[in-house]
Amino acid sequence: MNKLERFFFTKYLEDPKRSLLKFSFMFMVLGIVLSVAILSAGLNLFQGYESSLKDVLLGSFPHITIQDANNEYLGTEQADTIIKQLKKLPQVDKVTPVINYAVMVSSDSRVRGASLNAYDFSGAYPFPYSKYVKEGSNSPKVGEVIVGKYLAKELDKQVGDEIKVIYPQLDRISAMGLYPSERRYKIAGIYSSGFYESDRSLVICNLSDAETLLNINPSFAKLEITLKHKAIGSADAIAGIIQKQLGMDYAIYPWTLFSAGLLRLVAMEKWMIFIIFCFLVLIAGINVISAVTTIITDKRNEIAVLKTLGASTASIKKLFAYQVGLAGVGAIIIGQMLGALLSYFVEKQGFYRLKGDVYFIDSLTAAISPLNQIIVFIVAACLVAGCIYYPLRQIDRLQIIELLRNS
Amino acid sequence: MLCLAGYNLSKSYIDSDQSIHVLADATLEVREAEMISITGQSGCGKSTLLHILGLLDMPDSGKVVIGGKEINSQMPEAPAVRNKEIGFVFQFHYLVEDLSARENVALPMIIAGQSSGASLKRASELLSSLGLADRLSRYPNQLSGGEQQRVSLARALINNPKIVLADEPTGNLDPQHSSEVWQMILMLNREFGQAFVIVTHDRESARLASTTYTLTNGKLSLC
């Protein structure tokens, strides 16, 4: 930046009202503000969706699951031995044995399919999902259950009401047909993780209730491992270590096996949306080209006099580039702020909810990531800079003498 | 001592397949502290001559010598010579709208590589000496026509050029402002020895110069 360029640049910053707030810039600035706001809001919402989905997936499902390779139940002693081994691993936070089975839940004339998960609530083992019990007790007693929010809603039941859990026992057919096992439970709490499928189908009960209902001896279907926060990303490697320790009699499933593909898809969708919205900024760039062309036409006399006074063409181009560029940068920053505001309102609005059965989660959340905002700024600035540079080439072709003769 | 000279300058334009010779072997020598006026009918080539002498246009033939060195508008050093050796005043002030009077005047000095602080200080002094001390921070659209042209004159003088080339400097002004600008030019020539070449169609004002030429059929002749 030579002294002339620095002089003008300082002037633009010191007196933006006169230098930058021009009528010819109005549509350019408006176009950039709106397109950047949409780009920024779209990215904030997608980032929010990705983060929420990841939080829900990693918060309401085990990070690693261990079960018998032949799908046999694990005996209590066998499970305790494995748990002791697993607790020696520094990455492991909690190990919880669980029984789970597909059941039916009924209330009056309504019947719904459900997933029964039975945990120990005596304190011997941790229950990792207590934070998702939003109403009632997170420690059901014998004869009590915690029910998913949407399941309770579909059955029209609340905390304190009773539901009937039916286990079809397809392997027990009597002369009278299927002989289901069924029991009535009192709803002790409502489970709401935000993950639609869990909230629509989960029933959580005590181990002893599940043993009675399923008619099994004390045992576990699987062990659920919750990893420490920093180790969640290394679930694959940790699963490999556990597999080596326990041998091939056990099947080890890290969370990535079920959910990583979905998260990758969501991340890819986010960047696809980003690219599509970048085209909006490019369209706004047409206004920039138009604004720069107008300014060059309006300021032909000034270009002529600057050239006459000895300023180089490159310097004159930079003076215009700084002027339009500063207005553009201001518009991008305003656009980003408007985008943040827009995503905040979309998050807080109550008239549109996500369809949980389609999008897995049912609420829109916005996450303003500094990295994303830097990317939005850089991409928008590069697009605007390209749109400024292109029409500035006209100045190369302007001859002083032609400008003076025509003015 | 010669500060600027143009020798055997010729220039023609093609208009509707016809060649129009606006300059034909025109020669002009300007010495230090000299004040030359050039008159002639509209379209006779006065401005073209001034543009060639000011390294803004190329002659078809002939040469321009500034400070003893032959130079033309296509040479890489031409912008620097225009900036330091020549001052320009045009019929229209051509002031930069977004800059104040003081900032407009400082421009040539800043282009020459001087600091903006020193340039603005010198611009203030110059404008004050031209009676515009109370107009330093005014923008061009806040100045009268005469004031605009005086700012333009100050801009032409800020780098202490060897010569100021003025193309119809009062052509756009009313008689009162026109007189003010002429008095200013005469004062600068008389008190500071500033050389001027002034192109004007106003024969009465032209007589105020020490030497007056008329441009007829592309040739300069002394009046």
ipTM value of the model?
A: 0.88
C-alpha span between A88 and A309 (Å, rounded): 80
pLDDT confidence of residue A358: 66
Number of A:B CB contacts under 8 A? 68
| Per-residue pLDDT at A50 | 85
pLDDT at A33: 94
- Tell me how far apart the alpha carbons of residues B103 and B136 are, in angstroms, rounded to a whole number: 8
- B interface mutation test: which of A20, A404, A406 has the most B CBs within 10 A? A404
Q: Is the pLDDT reported for residue B15 higher than 80?
A: no
Q: What is the least distance, in Å, from the CA of B147 to any CA of chain A?
A: 18
CB A115 within 8 A of CB A201: yes
Substitution target in B107, B138, B168 with the highest count of A β-carbons within 10 Å is: B107
Q: Which residues of A touch B139 (CB under 8 A)?
A: 18
pLDDT of B138: 93
Tell me the sheet residues that pair with A103: A114
Domain boundaries, given as residue ranges, for chain B: 2-222
Interface touch B107/A306, C-beta < 8 Å: yes
Distance of CA A256 to the CA centre of its chain: 16
C-alpha span between A97 and A284 (Å, rounded): 57
Cβ-based contacts of A404 with chain B (< 8 Å): 51, 56, 90
What span, in angstroms and rounded, lies between the C-alpha atoms of A66 and A253? 7
- CB under 8 Å to B167, separation ≥6 — which residues? B46, B47, B50, B88, B89, B90, B91, B199
Q: Extract the tokens encoding B44.
A: 């006779």
Each residue of A378-397: b (16+ CB within 10 Å) or e?
ebbbebbbebbeebbebbee
Residue of chain B minimizing CA distance to A12: B98
Distance between CA atoms of residues A210 and A212, nearest Å:
5
What is the structure's pLDDT at A24? 76
CB contact under 8 A, B111 and A309: yes
In A, minimum Cα distance to B114 occurs at A3
A401/B92 CB distance under 8 A: no
CA angle A198, A203, A205 (to 5 degrees): 135
SS3 A387: helix
Q: Angle A23-60/A370-392 helices, nearest 10 degrees?
A: 150
Q: How far apart are CA A341 and CA A41, in angstroms?
A: 8
Q: Do B82 and A309 touch (CB under 8 A)?
A: yes
The answer to whether residue B99 scores a pLDDT higher than 80 is yes
Which residues of chain A are within 8 Å of residue B98 when distances are taken between CB atoms? 11, 15, 18-19
Q: What is the pLDDT of residues B142-195, one digit of tens each?
A: 998 888 988 998 998 898 888 999 988 888 778 887 888 888 888 888 888 889
CB contact under 8 A, A311 and B82: no
Contact list in A for residue B88 (CB cut-off 8 A) is 305, 308-309
| Spatial contact of A205 and A140, defined as CB atoms under 8 Å apart | yes
Q: A281 to chain B, minimum CA–CA distance in Å? A: 29
**CA-wise closest residue to A198 among A129, A292, A248:** A129
Say what the pTM is. Answer: 0.75
Percent with pLDDT over 70 in chain B = 100
Q: How close B24 gets to chain A, by Cα (Å)?
A: 19
Q: What is the least distance, in Å, from the CA of B116 to any CA of chain A?
A: 7
Do the Cβ atoms of B94 and A301 come within 8 Å? yes
> How confident is the prediction for chain B on average, in pLDDT?
87
Domain B2-222's class? alpha beta
Residue A259, helix vs strand vs coil: helix
pLDDT in tens, chain A (407 residues): 889 999 999 998 888 888 777 777 888 899 999 999 999 998 898 888 888 888 888 888 889 999 988 888 888 888 889 999 888 899 999 899 999 888 999 887 788 899 999 998 888 888 888 888 888 888 888 889 999 999 999 888 889 999 999 887 666 666 666 677 888 999 999 998 888 888 899 999 998 888 888 888 878 889 999 999 888 888 989 999 999 988 888 999 998 888 777 788 888 888 888 888 888 888 888 888 988 888 888 888 888 889 889 998 899 999 999 999 999 999 999 999 999 999 888 888 767 776 766 667 777 788 888 998 999 999 999 999 999 988 888 888 877 777 777 76
Search chain A and give the residue with CA nearest B156: A309
Which candidate from B84, B98, B116 shows the least CB-CB separation from A3? B116
> Taking the CB of residue B202, how many other CB atoms lie within 10 A of it?
16
- Tell whether B87 is within 8 A of chain A (Cβ): no
| Cα separation values, A308 from A6, A65, B93, B194, Å | 19, 78, 13, 20
